[in-house]
Amino acid sequence: MMREEVVMLCTSDIAGQVRGKGFPASDLEARLVKGIGWTPTNILISAHGPIAPSPWGPFGDLVIKPDPATRLRVDFGPDQAAEHFIMGDLCHLDGTPWVVCPRGFLKRVLAALEARHGLKVKAAFEHEFVYEAVEERPNASYALDAFRRQNLFAETYLGALKAAGLELDTFMPEYGPMQYEVTVGPAIGVTAADQAVAVREIARAVAGRMGSRVSFTPILRPDAVGNGVHVHFSLIDARTGASVNHDPQHPQGIAPTAGSFVAGMLAKLPAITAMTAAASISYLRLTPNRWSAAYNNLGFRDREAGVRICPVFTTDPAQIAKQFHFEFRAADAAASPYLLLGIILAAGLYGLDKKLAMPKVCEGAPQNLSDAQLQALDIVRLPQSLGAALDLFEAETDLGEIIGPDLKSAYLAAKRFEVEMMAKLSSTEQCEKYRRAY
């Protein structure tokens, strides 16, 4: 029987779900020009199915305009359907950007960063996930045996990532139950978020074709180690491509420009957590002593810091300047990569605009410091529930212009609806819901 390959033209929505419409591959050239129709209310479909209260209802029309640079095709052989999709921007019918589009939001922030400060961003997303085909064992953390038991998944997964054009970095068994981690090389601007979508969707595609599933849920169960998404980032000069992060005269090596950028990120972290840790169960993970972020602190090689100064594997001054970068740790895959990267960069842009002072590095664990010590370092506890984070996000005004009122109100509506749904369930039941959704 003849087969017609189908291409999906997709968007990543507020719930971090990749949705879209398919069309015959023979129509690809035409669709790259005209896109495909979409509905505003679709942005409010929750990760669990029901739709949040929508200001648009059944009215209105949009178009997903494809970005040809994001086209991804992985051939899984003659007995399997190819994985073939393209990411796009949500636009009005005349082609102008729709302000609620998550990818469009990230592009606005990146454009402002370059226009106001002559900077671009290089970033990479480090993902942790659960591979359900392996048996949970208590001694599996980082173990060769845990790597062995996933059998052909890693080889197939990395092969698919390579076929999709991503730069391979690492794959490893992690600390948590059935948990693995994957990293790919950094990319400039919106491409970093496009690649984060690809990393997640290709993992799902490979696992599905092998008769199993992966889950990027923030936490598998209340007593488990969580699945983080750690965003490594550095600032580069838009004209020369040179890094502007490092200053050898600073005790921890931070250059003034990077210092103001990180200071803005730290100042706004409690509020933007609503967008970076976007599930009700995210806050089971963001607690002290769990190798996860619980405070808005800057840490020097500290894996519980809100923002971490990463290690450099060289003594060559030129290479130190090139490698020196930061890692944002208060995030997980319930967040759309576009909203996640966009909001942390928006906070950094605020720090640059206001010329905020160099942040103080926290030496030691914040939970072990006195209130006076925390105050001296400008450190506060991150919100301990999605509802509390949303309250802070709603009250936040400094980032309002770049987020835009329509995106902000849609995000609040979607996530408050999610909070209401989850409030009826125990933590264990919520974890199971998110495991299935992500």
Closest among 74, 104, 111, 99 to 88, alpha carbons compared: 104
Pairing, β 326-328 against β 6-12 = unpaired
**CATH ID of 104-437, from 3.30.590.10, 1.10.540.10, 3.40.50.720, 3.90.550.10:** 3.30.590.10
Question: What's the chain's average pLDDT?
Answer: 96
Burial of 371 from C-beta contacts in 10 A (0-12 / 13-18 / 19+): exposed
Report the pLDDT averaged over residues 360-380.
Answer: 93
Question: What is the spatial distance between Cα 229 and Cα 150, in angstroms, rounded to a whole number?
Answer: 21
Q: What is the pLDDT of residues 156-191, one digit of tens each?
A: 999 999 999 999 999 999 999 999 999 999 999 999
Q: What is the pLDDT of residues 106-122, one digit of tens each?
A: 999 999 999 999 999 99
Q: What is the pLDDT of residue 124?
A: 98
Q: Are 295 and 242 in contact (CB under 8 A)?
A: no
Any idea which residue has 């664990």 for tokens?
365
Fold assignment, 6-38+58-98: Ubiquitin-like (UB roll) (3.10.20)
Q: Are 389 and 264 in contact (CB under 8 A)?
A: no
Q: What is the pLDDT of residues 40-90, one digit of tens each?
A: 999 999 999 999 999 999 999 999 999 999 999 999 999 999 999 999 999
Report the pLDDT averaged over residues 339-351.
Answer: 98
Question: What is the spatial distance between Cα 400 and Cα 388, in angstroms, rounded to a whole number?
Answer: 18
222, pLDDT greater than 80:
yes
Q: What is the pLDDT of residues 287-322, one digit of tens each?
A: 998 889 999 999 988 889 999 999 888 888 888 888
Question: What is the spatial distance between Cα 373 and Cα 359, in angstroms, rounded to a whole number?
Answer: 14
253, pLDDT greater than 80:
yes
Report the pLDDT averaged over residues 1-20.
Answer: 95
What is the 8-class DSSP label of residue 233? E
Q: What is the pLDDT of residue 1?
A: 72
3-state secondary structure string across 139-203: CCCCCHHHHHHCCCHHHHHHHHHHHCCCCEEEEEECCCCCEEEEEECCEECHHHHHHHHHHHHHH
Q: Could you tell me the pTM of the whole model?
A: 0.97
Confidence category of residue 355, pLDDT binned at 50, 70, 90: very high
**Which residues is 129 bridged to in the sheet?**
180
Domain spans of the chain?
A: 6-38+58-98, 104-437
Q: What is the pLDDT of residues 142-154, one digit of tens each?
A: 999 999 999 999 9
Helices 337-353 and 190-209 meet at what angle, rounded to 10?
160
Confidence category of residue 271, pLDDT binned at 50, 70, 90: very high
Q: What is the pLDDT of residue 315?
A: 80
Report the pLDDT averaged over residues 237-259.
Answer: 95
What is the 8-class DSSP label of residue 214? E
Burial of 120 from C-beta contacts in 10 A (0-12 / 13-18 / 19+): middle
Q: What is the pLDDT of residues 12-48, one digit of tens each?
A: 999 999 999 999 999 999 999 999 999 999 999 999 9
243, pLDDT greater than 80:
yes
Question: What is the spatial distance between Cα 35 and Cα 37, in angstroms, rounded to a whole number?
Answer: 7
Q: What is the pLDDT of residue 356?
A: 98
